[in-house]
Amino acid sequence: MTFFLMLFLPAYVLFAFAVSESLVLFLSFFVSYLTLLGLSLSVERKIRFSYAGVSIVIFSLLFFLVAPLIQLQALSPRLVNTDAFDVHRAVAVNVMYAIFIGTYALTYFLITHNKPFSLSVSVTKALALEEARRWRYGSASMFFASTLAILLAFACIIALYSDWVSNKSLAVQLVLIKFISLLPLYFFSYSQVRFRVEGRWYFFLLAVLFFVLILSLKNHYFERRNALGPVYVAILSFVFFNLFWRRWLYLSFSFFVMIVAFPASSILTHQYGILQNKLNLAETLVLAKDQLVGHYSDLHYDAWANGVSMLKMLSETGYSYGQQLLGTFFFFVPRQLWQDKPIATGEMLGRYLMSNAQLWFSNISFALPYEGYADFGYFGVILFAVVLALMVAWLERSLLKDFSYLVFYSYFCFYLYFLLRGSLLAAFSYGIGAFLAIVVFPGLFRRFSRRGALRWKVSRQLV
């Protein structure tokens, strides 16, 4: 990854220089790129390879370095979110993101220095066997936990497909969509690895059952694409666990999905796509180039532009001083009980752009560094970067001891794209639901099984 970024640097510098309308703007892009190189070096070391860090690097490259330049060339003097371009605010956004990335890279390096980390087939097998040992005296607890997960998943399927949930409160929707619908993921992963390690057919049947439940619950009828991706990447990581976590394969897969597959699907299948036009080779190449520009000028890549607009909005409204963060932490509180409950920061910016620009909807992204800035200024940017680095390092330390954390980490690595793009309120609610379903739910039953095992040993000694 670092080699690729260094190889791409000369082309990026030339492109940034050609597109930037001022030397200061060009230098801000150049500094951001160098900061991204530093992050790549921090997460890709000889003794340590951060899979989550790879997601941060790729997201930053696409959303804050490549897409903005393409948009400036194609859309200037307007931003992709229909707001007016302002060079001073654009420079400030680049500086802000460089501070965020630099702080994350430095924090992650300091807290993981000389601490090796890398996933392998042996690690996955060892964690699965350790998980089996933890359930050893709690086979009844394992049976009850998996059965309860199956029953809850079936109830969730009935509720979703009968449209019963559409008229229910937000709290009910949160429980069904963000918690219950993810319960099968842990049991699928555990059953899949146990089958591959031990070859017992009933683990294969359990894996198939839980996979069918996941397919029924996690599909485009009920979820957005950014919520589906982490689930199915996690499934792939356990179906192909002999290959998935190898460094070069993981890098290749991540680059292919985000840099090749998504743009290619847009070029080939959208209403202006190549497959809908009968053209010769030369015309096809020209159209492909135009559609590639169109892909990165789409509102899916509005993260950088929204930062420029955010600075404009905050110059009028001021910082929220933690109010938005408070609304994120207590997302589950009904608005009937908290009438002044803050709306998502992306929604707030969307409404501002609908009133002050030409945007026609309000559900837009709001990148993670902006959340910190909207609450606490540049201190918030640094704070959020430090917290994210601590979170990633904690997950990487925890997964080497607990199989459920490995399942969550496999989900988390691609969930990071959702978290980084924002807005935080929606991403946080999905993340909490996933953590409860994948780590907390089976963990509670394991704790019960361990207590049962202790009582069993004590009773045997008394006899």
Residues 175 and 50 grouped into a single domain: no
Asked if omega into 28 is within 30° of 0 (cis), the reply is no
Q: What is the spatial distance between Cα 96 and Cα 81, in angstroms, rounded to a whole number?
A: 19
pLDDT at residue 463, as a whole number = 35
**Is residue 387 in a domain?**
yes
Q: In which region does residue 355 sit, left (phi positive, over 0), alpha (psi from -120 to 50) or beta (all else)?
A: alpha
**Is residue 415 in a domain?**
no
Residues 146 and 108 grouped into a single domain: no
49 forms beta bridges with 44
**Is residue 32 in a domain?**
yes
Determine the structural domain holding residue 148 and report its residue range: 121-244+423-462
Residues 314 and 458 grouped into a single domain: no
Burial profile 383-414: b = 16 or more Cβ within 10 angstroms, e = fewer = ebbbebbeebbebbeebeebbbbbbbbbbbbb
Q: What is the spatial distance between Cα 304 and Cα 169, in angstroms, rounded to a whole number?
A: 34
Residues 261 and 402 grouped into a single domain: yes
Helices (H), 276-365: 281-296, 303-317, 323-329, 345-356
Q: Name the more confident of 147 and 30.
A: 30
Mean pLDDT of 169-187: 77
pLDDT at residue 277, as a whole number = 53
pLDDT at residue 454, as a whole number = 38
**Is residue 417 in a domain?**
no
Mean pLDDT of 362-374: 93
Q: What is the spatial distance between Cα 150 and Cα 212, in angstroms, rounded to a whole number?
A: 11
pLDDT at residue 140, as a whole number = 66
**Is residue 209 in a domain?**
yes
pLDDT at residue 363, as a whole number = 85
Cα–Cα distances (Å) from 7 to 37, 156, 254, 274, in that order, read 11, 49, 18, 30
Phi first, then psi: give them for residue 20, nearest 5 degrees. Answer: -65, 135
User: DSSP per residue over 62-111, as a string?
Assistant: IIIIIHHHHHHHHHTTB-TTSPBP-HHHHHHHHHHHHHHHHHHHHHHHHH
Average pLDDT, the chain: 83
Residues 286 and 323 grouped into a single domain: yes
Q: How many domains does the chain have?
A: 2
Residues 126 and 177 grouped into a single domain: yes
Residues 135 and 199 grouped into a single domain: yes
Tokens of 392: 């990633």
Residues 246-300 have pLDDT tens digits of 888 888 888 888 877 776 665 555 444 444 555 555 655 555 556 666 677 778 8
Residues 233 and 253 grouped into a single domain: no
CA dihedral 84, 375, 50, 256 (to 10 degrees): -30
Q: Name the more confident of 462 and 179.
A: 179
Of 362, 382, 408, which marks where a domain is finished?
408
Q: Which of 413, 427, 435, 419 is nearest to 50 (CA)?
A: 413
pLDDT at residue 163, as a whole number = 66
pLDDT at residue 462, as a whole number = 31
Mean pLDDT of 388-402: 92
- Grade residue 171 by pLDDT with cuts at 50, 70 and 90: low
Residue with tokens 């998980």: 131
- Grade residue 313 by pLDDT with cuts at 50, 70 and 90: very high
Cα–Cα distances (Å) from 390 to 21, 245, 287, 396, in that order, read 38, 22, 45, 10
Q: What is the spatial distance between Cα 261 and Cα 255, in angstroms, rounded to a whole number?
A: 9
Helices (H), 113-138: 121-134
Residues 232 and 353 grouped into a single domain: no
Residues 69-126 have pLDDT tens digits of 988 888 778 889 989 999 999 999 999 999 999 999 999 999 998 888 888 777 777 7
Residues 111 and 210 grouped into a single domain: no
Residues 263 and 404 grouped into a single domain: yes
Residues 337-362 have pLDDT tens digits of 888 888 899 999 999 999 998 888 88
Residues 53-65 have pLDDT tens digits of 999 999 999 999 9
Q: Is residue 420's pLDDT more than 50?
A: yes
Burial profile 13-36: b = 16 or more Cβ within 10 angstroms, e = fewer = eebbeebbeeeebbebbbbbbebb
Asked if omega into 77 is within 30° of 0 (cis), the reply is yes
**Is residue 416 in a domain?**
no
**Is residue 23 in a domain?**
yes
Of 363, 383, 408, which marks where a domain is finished?
408
pLDDT at residue 459, as a whole number = 37
Residues 126 and 260 grouped into a single domain: no
**Is residue 154 in a domain?**
yes
